[in-house]
Amino acid sequence: MPTQLSCSEVLSRCTGQAGLPPPLLLDVRQPWEAELARIRIEGVTERLIPMGELVQRLDELDPLQPVVCYCHHGVRSLQVVAFLERQGFESVYNLAGGIDAWSSEIDPSLPRY
C-alpha cells in the first residue's frame, strides 16, 4: 500500500520542519485543473505531469528525490505513487485528500472545485 501523508505532514516536509530534504511536488492533474489551484511553497520545486503523460515523461523525475504526488482528491495520485514505486522510486508519497484537502486545511485562499 502506497504511503499517504496528511497535509500537515507534507507542509512540514516542504518547510524543512521534518528535518528531511524538501520533496518535489508532483501535480498529476490536467493543466486546466492546475490553472484553477496549485500548491506553491517557496523553495519547493513543483512539476505538472498529468497522469496520462507520466509513462512518456518518467525521465523528467529523479528516482532518488523524494516526491509527493497530488491530484484533486488523492485518487489519481495514489495510482501514480503505486506506479512510481514499481519503477524503483523509494521515497514517493501521496497527499491524502489531494488539493481539496490542502485548500481546506492549509490554504483556504485556494479555490475549491
Active site residues: 71
- Per the document, the length of the chain is 113
Contact 110, 103 (CB under 8 A): yes
Three-state DSSP at 51 gives helix
Cα–Cα distance measured from residue 56 to residue 59, given in angstroms and rounded to the nearest whole number: 8
